[in-house]
Each structure stands twice: as C-alpha cells, then as structure tokens.
Structure 1
Amino acid sequence: MTKARSSLISIDATPYYHCVSRCVRRSFLCGYDEKAQQSYEHRRGWIEERLLALAGAFCIDICAYAIMSNHYHVVLHVNADKAKQLTAHDVAERWLAFHQGPSLVQRFIQGNALTDSETERCVEIIEVWRERLASISWFMRLLNQHIASQANREDKCTGHFWEGRFKSQALLDEKALAAAMAYVDLNPIRAAIAETPETSEHTSVKARIESLKKEEATARHLFSFAGNPREPMPEGLPFRLMDYLELVDWTGRQSREDKRGKIDTRTPEILNRLGFDSDEWLDIYTQVEKGTLVGTETAIKDSLPQLGRKRLCGFRIPVS
C-alpha cells in the first residue's frame, strides 16, 4: 500500500534519507541496451550534472550517489537551518536558477520600486520557495522531470520515464547512515560493472577519491565529513573521510564471493566505533534497502511521533 510522503519524510525525525528512482518499461537511464543495440552511457553524465547543480541551489546536501543502468541511488541530508538563514534575495536567486518565475519577483531582485502590496506578495512567494529549497520531494521532482524530458526527446517518444514515485528511506542514526552510504557507493561493484571504488564511474565515492588526489577539501557539492562526533560538532557527516573510504573498500572486497578468504581480516576501526562486528555489518549492508525506516529499535521508536506513525516497523539494526 502506498504511504503518504509525510509518513516517510520528517526533518524532526532525521535529516538523512536514502532515495531511489527507477525507470519504467525497461527504459534505460544509462548503460547499453543489448536488445536495442544502443548505448545510453552518456545519460550518466546528465543525471550527475543535474544532481550536483540542484545540490548547489537547494539546501539539501548529497552524502552519496550511484547512477546505475535503469535506476539511481542518492543519500540526502536536508539542511533546514541553512534554508532559514538565507535572505529573500538568496532564496529567489536559487529558485530562479531552475524556474522562470513571475515578473514581480524579477523586479524585486533587480531592486525596482514596488508598492507595499507588491512587496508583501513577493515575500509570500519567496517564503514558499524557501520551504521548497529544503524539500526532498521538490529536489527529486526537478531532478527526475529534467532527465525524463531529455530522455524522451532523445528517444522521440512521450509518456512516463520514471516509476510513479521515488522510494525513500529515513536513516535514523549513524549506523543506518553508514550502511546506506556504503550500500550506495558499492552498487556498481555489486552489479559487476566496476571492480574497485576508485573505478566506479558516476559515484560519490569516486568523486571523493578524485578530490583527494587533487588535494581538494571536498568534492564539489558533496556533503563534507566532519569527523567523529564531539562537542561542539561542526556541520558534516559524523565520520572521518579516510575511515569511511577504508570501510567502503573493505566491505566491497568482503561482499564478493570470489574474494572470500583472500582479504585482510583486520576490521576497520569505524566498525568498532559504530558498535558493529564484521559479520553483523555485512548482513546489515546487504539488506539496507528493506523497509522505509532504518535504524536501531530505539531510534525507530523515537521517530514514530514525528512521522505520524504508531506501529513499530522498518529495518531494525541490532545494538551490540
């Protein structure tokens, strides 16, 4: 049964969400269609470019992404405080980067003289845009609509390109966030279209590794790593980047059957901090797409009032 989006996404419950969109009619987002003998590989660039452009305008950070042949994954962080702090001009400029907008707001941005009623109307419009800049639904809408239009033009057809709605999972704690990010970044390896994280094209892990090689602070428009939790905690993912990259590399090698028994058995330190043993982590990592809520039982219970739910449900991560 389809659930109301309000019961799936609530910033009061968590700012982190894993979202997935899939194509309909066996449509190819990217990759090579053996049946049609046609390559759609260039479409990976379309969605990566649009994804990063939206992240630059919205108050939504990209934690992880992977673009596959007929679907894509993205882990998002909603920065509600940032949206509240934007000036009216900032909000308008960000929203109008992707929309034409009414002439009244255009005049407001240009500093033209407005009557009191016109100014009041501008403020009302801009406040609606402010809410949208922190909305995952609007973020995903502008991403999917753009890609669908481009693909349909290229395919010379009309109709739906994506399934009716994107799937979203609330990531309720650090364990859920780490598992979802690793699951997303390792999708190409699990699908046997890449052998290592650094060769996984159009993924966040490759982008982060490339930025390290260039000695950049962080990859463009990707949410930065703030390090292990502490007080005061700066904005960013609650892990160290090198710990996370080690975890992804170790997990990718462990989860491949042809590599079992040939891997360094040393457990990454980040697993100890998160309270996982190696077998437990691998089991959770492979099942992370189950349920619409992901977290420990305590985290799920605490989130139910914010999500308007009463029944304990979702994928429960055990506490060691």
Structure 2
Amino acid sequence: MPRPRSTQISIEDTLFYHCCSRTVRQAFIAGVDAFTGKSYEHRRGWIETQLLNLAGVFAIDVAAYAVMSNHLHLVLRIDIELANRWSDREVVEQWHQIFKGTDLSQQFAKGEVIEAYQVSQLKHLIAQYRSRLSDISWFMRCLNEPIARKANQEDNCTGHFWEGRFKSQALLDEAAVLACMAYVELNPIRAQMAKTPEDSDHTSLQLRVNAALKGKQPEKLLPFIGNERLNQLKGINFSLKDYLELVDETGRVIRDDKRGAISSSGAKILIRLNISSDNWIKITSEFGKLFHGPVGTLQELTSYGEHLGKRRRHFAKCCQYLETSR
C-alpha cells in the first residue's frame, strides 16, 4: 500500500528528492504511434516548458530532469529558506502566476484596503500558499495536470493520462544526489534515444552542456557552485566541469555496453565521494532497479528513519553501493 507523502519527506534530513511520473494506457509523451503514424514528440516540449516555468514560481529548484517517451524523471531541491524569505506580497504574487487565488488575495495583490475582520483569513491564506509553494506534491500537480488536459484534448479522450501517484525518493547525501542526477540525465543514452549528452533532447544535461559552451549555466536549473561555493547561497558543491566530464565518460561506458574505467579527470568527484568506478557505473546504470526507497548510506538511512518514526531500515541492503570504495 502506498505510503502518505508526508511520511517520505524529511527536510531535516535532506532537501533533495527524485521524482518520477509515468503515463497510463500506453499514452505517448514522445515517439510515433505505429498504427496512426502520428508523432507525439512535441509533448516533450510541453513538459519541459512547464517544468522550467514552475522552477521560477515555486521555492523548489530543478537539479536534473529527463523527459522520456512514457515517463519523466526529476531531481528536485526544496528551497525552504527562499519560501520563508518571501514577503507576504511576494508569496501571493508567486501563487497568482499559476492560480487565480481568491477575491481576498486579489485585493491584497492590488494593494486595496483589507478590512480588519479579513486580516486573519488573509494571513491563513498566505501561510497556505507559502507552504504549497515549497511542497513537492503541489509542484508535481502543477506540472502534470496541465499536460494531462492538453494531451487528453489532443487525443479527444477523457480519463487519467498519468499514473495516480508519482514516485518520490529521498536522496540523503551528496553521493545519492550526484548518482541520481547522472542516472536521470543519462536516461536517453541508456534508452538509445541519443548518442551523446548534447544530443539528449529535453534533458537538463543538454541545457548544461549548451550553456557551458558559452561559459554559463542555465538560469532555471540549480547551479554547480564548485568546492568554493563561488559566493552563492545555494547550489551543488562540485565543479560543473568535473561533473560534465564524469557524466560524459559514464555515458560512453553505458552506451558501448562495455566494462570501462573512469579517467583521472572524470574521477575527481568519485574520489571525493569515495565511490569506486565499478559501483558508480552500476548505480548510474541501474538506479531504478537498485533503490526503491530513500537513498543514502546506512547511517543516513538510520537517521532518516528515526526522524520519520520508522523502526525498520527498509532498503538498507543497497547501501553497499554508496559506502566506501572496495
């Protein structure tokens, strides 16, 4: 039986989560219907556009994504500090970018006078909006529902387009986050939809590569800020160059279906994470098969379970791949 989302989210342990949504009834996100010859490739663009738009509305950062033929993968980071820094007016303005709100919130946004008896109601409304804008379930709802409506309208049908619930995994440490990001971004290469990172359409990896060629990073993605943090408040504490080299070499091993070693330049991150090349290749190739719940070392899993009141350390067997190199 699926567990409530509240029992899977522990901000005290991690801000990073891997989410995955799949279609039902063999509905197409991309590809060509063999019976009708109709192409659905444009739907991947719908999803990517909506995703990146939401990244500018929610207090949730997009670290990685890949839009596949019948599912999509995301690595998200909850920016609870940003949500708390927003003023009441900023919260309402953010919310109104995706929802109409209420008459009261519209009054407040326009700077109109709020009657004394309405102040308590307004404060409750703003608190609700602030909470939702840092809630992964609301983020996924705002991503999936508009796509489902457009797809059903295009298919001239009704009913579910996505499976009822999206999959969510807590990523409990740096190794789990980086391995999951690489797994997500290499999806098109494993599926033989692309040969190289720059050819991997509708992925965060393609955005990062194209931006890196111009000496930049994508504005809508959580940045890599290096080991020195580059005076930025948030980001992934690794060098973007090291990460791109590591993912490129990992993709070559996966694509050629050969046992291969990661070079010294690409292995800088693995040395810091203390993960062997063999374990790294296995994790980034089989992440979805290996991990069916929270991902991290045994110590991290234990702490996560305690904070959520879980007595048993489920999925602990897979921790071996994220422990020290062997």
TM range, normalised to the smaller chain? over 0.9
2:28 and 2:229 mapped to 1: Cα distance? Answer: 44
Shifted more, 12-21 versus 205-214: the winner is: 205-214
- The correspondence of residues 64-103 of structure 1 with structure 2, limited to 5 A, is 64-103=64-103
Moved more, 305-314 or 101-110: 305-314
What do the CA deviations read for 1:222-241 (whole angstroms, capped 9, x no partner)? 00112127799841112111
C-alpha separation in 1, matches of 2:122 and 2:138: 20
Matching of residue 204 in structure 1 with residue 209 in structure 2: no
Structure 2: unaligned runs, 5 residues or longer = none
1:219-274 CA-partner distances (Å, limit 9, x unpaired): 0310011212779984111211111101110110112345556x775452111111
1:270-289 equivalences in 2 (<5 Å): 270-289=269-288
Asked whether the 8 Å contact 1:30–1:39 carries over to 2, the reply is yes
Change (3 A) 1:12 1:36: farther
- Opposite residue 297 of structure 2, the aligned amino acid is T
Partner AA of 1:131 in structure 2? S
- Count of aligned residue pairs for this structure pair: 318
Does residue 300 of structure 1 match 2:301? yes
Contact 2:9 2:170 in 1 (8 A): yes
Give structure 1 stretches of 5+ with no counterpart.
none
After superposition, the C-alpha distances for 1:263-312 in whole angstroms (9 at most, x for unaligned) are 77545211111101111111222232222111111111111122331111
Partners of 1:18 and 1:169 within 8 A in 2 = yes
Q: Using the alignment, how far apart are the partners of 1:4 and 1:264 within structure 2?
A: 40
Listed one character per residue, the Cα deviations across residues 190-218 of structure 1 (whole Å, up to 9, x for unaligned) are 000100001100100110111122333x2
Preserved contact between residue 226 and residue 238 of structure 2 (Cα < 8 Å): yes
Q: Does the CA-based 8 Å contact 2:222-2:236 persist in structure 1?
A: yes
- Whole-Å separation in 1 of the counterparts to 2:69 and 2:233: 36
> Is contact 1:45-1:202 (8 Å) kept?
yes
1:309 pairs with 2:310:
yes
Runs of 4+ residues over 3 Å off in structure 1? 229-234, 257-261, 263-267
Return closer, same or farther for 1:35/1:295 CA change in 2, 3 Å cut-off: farther
Confirm or deny that 1:240 pairs with 2:239: yes
| Letter paired with 1:246 | E
What SS is found at the alignment partner of 1:153?
A: helix
Match of 1:222 in 2: 221
Deviations 1:162-185 (A, max 9, x none): 001000110000110011000000
Give the structure-2-normalised TM-score.
0.93
Name the amino acid aligned to 2:235: G
Partner of 1:319: 324
Deviation string, structure 1 residues 86-106 (Cα, Å, up to 9, x no partner): 001110011111111111111
Displacement of 1:119 = 2.4
Mean alpha-carbon deviation: is it higher for 5-14 or for 264-273?
Answer: 264-273
Percent sequence identity over matched residues?
Answer: 47
CA contact (8 A) 1:288 1:294 kept: no
If the length of structure 1 is used for normalisation, what is the TM-score? Answer: 0.95
Alignment of 1:116-265 (within 5 A): 116-216=116-216, 218-228=217-227, 234-258=233-257, 260=259, 265=263
Q: Give the corresponding residue for 1:33.
A: 33
In 1, Cα distance between the equivalents of 2:159 and 2:309?
Answer: 34
* Aligned 8 A contact 2:189 2:196 in 1: yes
Task: Give, in angstroms, the shift of residue 31 of structure 1.
Answer: 2.0
Give the aligned partner of residue 108 of structure 1. Answer: 108
| 8 Å contact kept, 1:250–1:268 | no
What amino acid does structure 2 have at the position aligned with 1:40?
Y
User: Is 1:7–1:309's contact at 8 Å kept on the other side of the alignment?
Assistant: no
